[in-house]
């Protein structure tokens, strides 16, 4: 029985998961606190790739919203609008910053209003098949980001 369990773990890619943990990391993540009536929110973080090859983030999953999409903001003349992306590439030994006015993870159809300081679990999925689990706190926009600079 024990042997079967071990085999199952190996087959499920446990080894590559461990590798992902050291190569890819998320820093300074937060989820935007919204008024209780707001249907949507957004998540922001810095995605750091220590690896020697670029990685493509292709999806983010979470139970807090019906649909999660990768978005960026494009400017068309005076207008700024959100655009969905199929992937976000993080260069080898580089970072991509998800931040207001730029890349963000759109949380569409919140199942419950977010509470300040609530911790929201996410799973980031990459084109390589790797995944990264992160937990991000719910914060008000700009909190602690401009006050001390």
| Binding positions for Cu ion, rule: CB under 5 A | 71, 82, 106
Of 8 and 74, CB closest to Cu ion: 74
Of 13 and 108, CB closest to Cu ion: 108
Query: What is the total residue count of the chain?
Result: 149
* Shortest Å, Cβ 82 to Cu ion: 4
* Shortest Å, Cβ 44 to Cu ion: 11
Among 16, 42, 46, smallest CA distance to 29 is for 46
Tokens found for residue 27: 């820093």
* Shortest Å, Cβ 6 to Cu ion: 43
Half-sphere exposure of 90 (CA within 13 A, CB side): 28
Of 71 and 139, CB closest to Cu ion: 71
Secondary structure tally for the chain: helices H, strands E: 2, 10
Which residues, at least 6 apart from 119, have a Cβ–Cβ distance to it below 8 Å?
135, 136, 137, 138
* Shortest Å, Cβ 104 to Cu ion: 6
* Shortest Å, Cβ 84 to Cu ion: 8
**Range 76-107 burial, b when 16+ CB lie within 10 A, else e:** eeeeeeeeeeeebebeeeeebebeeeebbbbb
Of 22 and 84, CB closest to Cu ion: 84
Of 20 and 114, CB closest to Cu ion: 114
């Amino acid at each position: 029985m024990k042997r079967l369990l071990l085999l199952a773990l190996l087959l499920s890619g446990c080894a590559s998961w461990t590798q992902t943990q050291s190569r890819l990391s998320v820093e300074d993540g937060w989820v935007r606190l919204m008024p209780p009536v707001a249907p949507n929110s957004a998540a922001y973080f810095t995605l750091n790739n220590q690896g020697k090859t670029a990685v493509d983030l292709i999806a983010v999953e979470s139970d807090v919203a019906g649909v999660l999409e990768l978005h960026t903001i494009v400017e068309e003349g005076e207008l700024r609008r959100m655009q969905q992306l199929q992937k976000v590439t993080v260069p080898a030994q580089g970072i991509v910053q998800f931040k207001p006015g730029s890349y963000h993870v759109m949380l569409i159809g919140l199942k419950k209003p977010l509470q300040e300081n609530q911790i929201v679990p996410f799973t980031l999925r990459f084109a390589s098949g790797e995944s990264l689990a992160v937990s991000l706190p719910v914060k008000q926009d700009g909190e602690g980001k401009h006050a001390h600079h």
